[in-house]
Amino acid sequence: MRDTSEVISTSARLLRLVSLLSVRPSWTCGELADKMAVTERTVRRDVARLRELGYGVESDPGPWGGYRLRAGTRVPPLVLDDEEALAVAVGLREAALSGVLGGDQAALSALLKLRQVLPRRIADRLGEMDAAFVHTARPDEPQITPGMLLELAAACRRGERSRLSYRDREGKDTVREVDPYRLVHTGRRWYFVARDVTRDQWRTFRADRIGRIQPTGRPVELGDPPDPALLVSQSIAAGAYPLYVTIRLPLPLEQALRLIPATVGTHRPEGPDATVVDIGGPDADGLARYLLSLATPLRVLSPDDVREALLRRTRALFEDNDDERQSRPLRARTRER
């Protein structure tokens, strides 16, 4: 019977061999022996074991031949040293915070999985780096720690009812029981989608306003959950604004959504070639500025003060760019105004 330490040593050596084969197109037997501090006979024996386990290790005969992994070979669990693990974790952390990979949660999910399997010594170092790093957000973008993102992602994966400490838009602190479902990144902010147990409603929570989330240990089954991205878009578009404008775009719904995102307006088709959109804003002039920035034909259906603000701005823009008008004497232009 083989000694336990010998089995562990052989397993570690096989993982090391696969790691080496993964980072270069080809190795000679001698190069692998030097890297692993073993004999060439041991290398050949280990290659044979890998083949028995189903790994496609190819070899070329002769003194200059070498070993390589066959293209398309399924790689076993990734083997990283301490510095490589830290580098990968930091890269995933920044990708999750910046949204550089788009609206999906691939980077955050990968980071969560990586942190769950990291040895304690590496996890502690990563925690120290997290505490030292500062994410520079845009002036209008709130800060959120990577630790909170990971806690929320873990809550979604566990499928347990949780206790959520939350500060609403009025600054009021509340504690709610929720059934976590998904995290959604809009390109500017993270939103936590969960079912509010007390209200029996699906809700969206801005992640930067969450103070703490604590699992209760009670598993839950989520029946008929909503589309999380759509729920967040509708919630943002329906936010409390002092004023709303309704416009008609001579565009089908699909093109209108590309022009005005679902997080900005609420869309409804009006026939195959037109779309009506409701957009909220701070005041009539602010909404007029936004409509001008769209640089597309549109009609303001309501209210009148937004229509008038848009007309004032377009007239002023026309006058400022009218060459014939600019050539008139200053006194005449002043009288006209």
**Contact by Cβ (8 Å): 294, 288:** no
Q: Assess whether the previous peptide bond of 303 is cis (omega < 30° from 0).
A: yes
Give the Cβ contact number of residue 298 at 10 Å: 19
Looking at the fold, whether 107 and 172 belong to one and the same domain comes out as: no
**Contact by Cβ (8 Å): 293, 274:** no
> What pLDDT, in 10s, does the model give residues 153-178?
888 878 889 999 998 877 889 999 99
pLDDT value at 5 more than 90 = no
In a domain, 51, yes or no: yes
Q: What is the pLDDT of residue 246?
A: 93
Residue ending a domain, choose from 205, 234, 263: 234
Q: What is the pLDDT of residue 73?
A: 55
> What pLDDT, in 10s, does the model give residues 210-231?
999 999 988 888 888 888 888 8
Side-chain half-sphere CA neighbours of 172 within 13 A: 4
CATH, residue 18: 1.10.10.10
Looking at the fold, whether 310 and 250 belong to one and the same domain comes out as: yes
186 is in which domain, residue-wise? 146-234
Nearest to 177 by CA among 145, 149, 151, 201: 201
Q: How many domains does the chain have?
A: 4
**Contact by Cβ (8 Å): 213, 152:** yes
Looking at the fold, whether 245 and 173 belong to one and the same domain comes out as: no
Residue ending a domain, choose from 234, 263, 285: 234
Looking at the fold, whether 42 and 117 belong to one and the same domain comes out as: no
Q: What is the pLDDT of residue 188?
A: 67
Looking at the fold, whether 222 and 261 belong to one and the same domain comes out as: no
How confident is residue 129, by pLDDT bands cut at 50, 70 and 90? low
Looking at the fold, whether 151 and 220 belong to one and the same domain comes out as: yes
> What average pLDDT is seen over the chain?
78
pLDDT value at 302 more than 80 = yes
In a domain, 333, yes or no: no
In a domain, 207, yes or no: yes
CATH, residue 164: 2.30.30
Q: What is the pLDDT of residue 3?
A: 45
pLDDT value at 335 more than 60 = no
In a domain, 107, yes or no: yes
**Contact by Cβ (8 Å): 256, 208:** no
